[in-house]
Structure 1
Amino acid sequence: MNQPKILILGAHGLAVRDLQKALAAAGFTVDLDGDYDEGTEHAVAAFQRSVGLVADGIAGPKTFAALLGKRDPLHLGFADLERAAKTLGIPVAAVQAVNEVESKGEGFLDNGRVVILFERHVFYQRLVKAHDQAEADRLAGLHPNLINPKSGGYAGGAAEWQRLTSARQIDEACALESCSWGLFQVMGYHWQDLGYASVQDFVTRMQASEAEQLDAFVRFVKADPALLKALKAGKWADFARGYNGPAYARNLYDVKLERAFARYSAAAPAKDAA
């Protein structure tokens, strides 16, 4: 099967036809026409539900792997979303919307390591707090790509782990606290407020599974009454502002969340019947 990174509603071509053939072989009714229409989207969602994946109708690496019989237990499942919704007291559709819009889509790299983003400006701030500004400035002069009052210097993907490895040689705890971790990009320095025993405990949990990464997001929302209130009320602009900061509007996070919530809410009865 030809496996692109991701296929969504509106895609067309040989890759879509290969996907449709795989769905048909798995027993799902779908036209083999190479068009990713609503019928294909529904078939993908039905297959995802059948194997316990998040049923979003989007064919990505997790769906392709499951079609090949390689369902990874580290991946997030629909039962995990249901559990999160119950804990937060919100509709499952709300968690599905957040998972679609706010998560990175995959919590692990191809090499099995958790997805991270090392923030050099946060490392600078953590060093100031752990030591003092003079020491942080001294270290910043020696390692400006790792320690800097200004954000930036990102390498992306697995290369972020190389940056983290170098930073850990300077200060282990501060380095771990200076990364965002997993699907929902929760910063390591939140570990204490979220009820973890240590930053090392937090990191170990993030490496364990995407379900643990979702749990970190749940803890993060529960720890912020305003964020939880916005999520419960479906006030997507307020939620997006609290979760993403003032740049949320430029990236249309609130619009994307509202649309995703409406789509999952409309599909909920059909999913329950299935």
Structure 2
Amino acid sequence: MNFRGEALPLTDSDIEIIAGYLGCQVAALHSVIIVETTGKGFGPDNRPIMLCEPHIFYHELKIQSQRLQASKQGLAYPKWGTKPYPTTQNIRYLWLDKAMEINQEAALSSCSWGLGQVLGINYKICGFSTILDFVEAMKYSGASQLYAMAKFIAADHLQVYLRNLAWSEFAHRYNGPAYALNHYEIKLEHTYNRLPASEKVIPSPPSNYTLDSLLPSK
């Protein structure tokens, strides 16, 4: 599978559209983007930023022979933290290529993708019919990646914390119970405070047409 797509960069207009969708300040959403991803959704080779999750892959493999094969190859294990994460995108994509040979859907679903590092198993709540549609969007643009992230936030009702600038509550629910170890809530607040006043506004909600225009055309 070719993971190099259009790789269109995220724009200020894209962030404004999604902030309007979430009903939060542009600066609140921009802070999340900066802290979560340093604002980058693609590597220098135009492949989406991706993190493989072998423990998710283990549980996504429902056929025992596939699970055993993946385990023997070191591609899957039942418990998070069994091995360190691969440190480079090249190694992560090598993992993905091997994992897809065993089960393509399970492999793609077991990676965190793009700006928001949204886990592939969440593709349906992010507004996509299939995992392949989701991955195509991750390849297409930073706007598509932000769209998926926003849909995930809305599905979990996290937008209220962005609206209220409730950084600890947002970080806890977006990153999990260990969020404080990485000081996510402090980073979010400090980043927000550094952004200009011109971003501390809530845009009007976009139309469905405008929101869908962020995705690749079918």
Query: TM-score, normalising length from structure 1?
Result: 0.66
Number of paired residues? 192
1:82 aligns with 2:16: yes
Query: What residue in structure 2 maps to residue 197 of structure 1?
Result: 129
Query: What residue in structure 1 maps to residue 28 of structure 2?
Result: 94
Task: Give runs of aligned pairs for residues 1-274 of structure 1, distance below 5 A.
Answer: 74-127=8-61, 130-131=62-63, 134-135=64-65, 137-143=67-73, 145-151=74-80, 152-155=83-86, 156-225=88-157, 227-264=158-195, 266=197, 268=199
Larger Rg: 1
Check whether the contact 1:98–1:257 (CA below 8 A) recurs between aligned residues.
yes
Query: What residue in structure 1 maps to residue 205 of structure 2?
Result: none
- SS of corresponding position for 2:170: helix
Q: What is the deviation of 1:154?
A: 2.6
Query: TM-score, normalising length from structure 2?
Result: 0.82
User: Runs in 1 of length 4+ with deviation above 6 angstroms?
Assistant: none
What is the one-letter code of the residue matched to 1:246? P
Structure 2 distance, partners of 1:160, 1:102, is 18
Q: What is the deviation of 1:266?
A: 3.7
Structure 2 distance, partners of 1:221, 1:162, is 30
> What CA deviation, in whole Å up to 9, does each residue of 1:183-202 have, x standing for no partner?
11000000112220100000
> What CA deviation, in whole Å up to 9, does each residue of 1:90-137 have, x standing for no partner?
01111111111112432112222111111100100111xx33xx4465
What is the one-letter code of the residue matched to 1:199? I
Query: What residue in structure 2 maps to residue 25 of structure 1?
Result: none
What is the one-letter code of the residue matched to 2:51? L
Q: Report percent identity of matched pairs.
A: 39
Higher relative contact order (CA 8 A, sep 6+): 2
> What CA deviation, in whole Å up to 9, does each residue of 1:170-211 have, x standing for no partner?
000000000001111000000112220100000000000111
Structure 2 gap ranges (5+): 1-5, 201-218
Structure 1 distance, partners of 2:165, 2:45, is 37
